[in-house]
Amino acid sequence: MYSLLRKEISSFLTSLTGYIVITIFLLAVGLFLWVFPGDFNIIDAGFTSLESLFVIAPWVFMFLIPAITMRSFAEEKRTGTIELLLTRPLSEWQIILAKYFAGLLLVVLSLIPTFVYYYSLQGLGNPPGNIDTGATWGSYIGLMFLGGAYVSIGLFASSITENQIVSFITAFFLCFFCYFGFDAIGGMEIFRSVDELIIDIGINAHFASMSRGVIDSRDVLYFLSFIFVFLALTRFRLLSRNW
**pLDDT tens sequence across 202-231:** 999 999 888 877 788 899 999 999 999 999
Domain around 90: 2-242
Q: What domain count does the chain have? A: 1
pTM above 0.85, yes or no: yes
How confident is the model over 124-150, as a mean pLDDT?
A: 81
pLDDT beyond 70 at 46: no
pLDDT beyond 90 at 33: no
DSSP-based three-state secondary structure for 117 = helix
Mean pLDDT, the chain, rounded, equals 84
Q: What local confidence, expressed as pLDDT, does residue 243 receive?
A: 45
